[in-house]
């Protein structure tokens, strides 16, 4: 059963929990995955997002999230002006794509140093979201728990080593999902934690053998 504050709540900027609050969260999550202030953003909108985004402020909500605002931030309606002040350029492209959730956004970001990410995710109702694809990897990331995302070479013992380091940090793992594209190549592991992992341990994971990148995504 949902909790009291899922029903009387969340506190949010209207008008729509899925098209505004959820959209903002998709932006926030994409920013967290990029790990820095985005400099350019290209956002493709699918389905109901594509059809009604202007009337629901979906576009402003996504930009607000990309700028680090939460769904209850009263600056959300002014996100376009704030983006200009902060030097974020963006474009929205309604697209047709089948086989995805009707409230889907595909967000491509670059930061000042040229880092890029491509995040695909959906607003699944009540302001909740699900990230379904990251840089071509399929995954499921809801932001209800802090997570660690690790790209690694698909070699024996890599996951064991990661979980060992997490145990050493005293962290409690809620779930582990390993996704690989092709056997023996790159794989992505998403670990949901009960609490956030201290940065030193994230760095230790990142600098371990066969690890390409490791970063944390906070609970939304």
Partner 1 sequence: MYDFSTIAELTAEAEKAGLPISSIVISREANESQKTYDEVVAQMRHSWHTMKDAIDKGINNPQKSVSGLTGGDAPKIYSMLNASAGKSYLGELACCACAGAVAVAEVSAGMGRIVACPTAGSCGIVPGALYAAHRYKIKNDEPIVRSLFTAAGFGMIIDEMACIAGAEGGCQAECGTAAAMAAAALTELAGGNPEAVAHAAALALKNLLGLACDPVAGLVEVPCIKRNGFIAVHALTASDMAISGIRSVIPPDEVVMAMKEIGDQLPLALKETAGGGLAATPTGRRLKEQIFGKQTE
- Sequence-distant (≥ 6) Cβ neighbours of residue 215 within 8 angstroms: 33, 35, 148, 149, 202, 206
Q: Which is nearer to partner 1, 124 or 179 (CB)?
A: 124
Nearest CA to 49 out of 110, 108, 92 is that of 92
Decide if residue 95 touches partner 1 (CB under 8 A).
no
Cα–Cα dist 209/160, whole Å: 12
Residues 8-47 as x/- pattern, contact with partner 1 by CB under 8 A:
xxxxxxxxxx--xx--------------------------
Decide if residue 144 touches partner 1 (CB under 8 A).
no
- Rounded to a whole number of angstroms, the minimum distance from the CB of residue 155 to partner 1 is 39
Cα–Cα dist 66/60, whole Å: 10
Cα–Cα dist 181/194, whole Å: 27
Taking the CA atoms of the chain, what radius of gyration do you get in angstroms? 18
Decide if residue 81 touches partner 1 (CB under 8 A).
no
For residue 76, what is the enclosing H or E element?
none
Q: Which stretch binds partner 1 (CB under 8 A): 32-40, 74-82, 166-174, 184-192?
A: 74-82
| CA 60 centroid distance within chain | 17
Decide if residue 65 touches partner 1 (CB under 8 A).
no
- Rounded to a whole number of angstroms, the minimum distance from the CB of residue 212 to partner 1 is 37
101-140 positions binding partner 1, by CB under 8 A: 125-127
Binding site for partner 1 (CB under 8 A): 1-17, 20-21, 48, 50-52, 54-57, 60, 72, 74, 76-77, 94, 125-127
């Amino acid at each position: 059963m949902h909790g009291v504050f899922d029903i009387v709540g969340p506190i949010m900027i209207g008008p729509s929990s899925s098209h505004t609050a959820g959209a903002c969260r998709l932006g926030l999550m994409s920013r967290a995955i990029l790990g820095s202030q985005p400099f350019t953003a290209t956002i493709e909108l699918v389905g109901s997002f594509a059809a009604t985004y202007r009337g629901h402020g979906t576009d402003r909500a996504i930009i607000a999230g990309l700028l680090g605002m939460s769904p209850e931030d009263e600056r959300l309606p002014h996100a376009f002006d704030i983006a200009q002040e902060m030097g974020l350029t963006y474009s929205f492209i309604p697209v047709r794509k089948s086989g995805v959730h009707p409230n889907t956004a595909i967000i491509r970001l670059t930061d000042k140093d040229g880092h890029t990410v491509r995040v695909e995710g959906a607003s699944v109702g009540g302001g909740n979201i699900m990230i379904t694809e990251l840089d071509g990897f399929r995954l499921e990331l809801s932001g209800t728990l802090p997570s660690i995302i690790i790209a690694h070479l698909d070699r024996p013992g890599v996951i064991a080593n990661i979980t060992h380091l997490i145990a050493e940090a005293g962290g409690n793992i809620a779930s582990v999902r390993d996704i690989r594209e092709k056997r023996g190549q790159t794989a992505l592991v998403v670990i949901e934690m009960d609490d956030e992992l201290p940065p030193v341990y994230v760095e230790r994971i990142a600098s371990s053998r066969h690890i390409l990148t490791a970063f944390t995504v906070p609970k939304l």
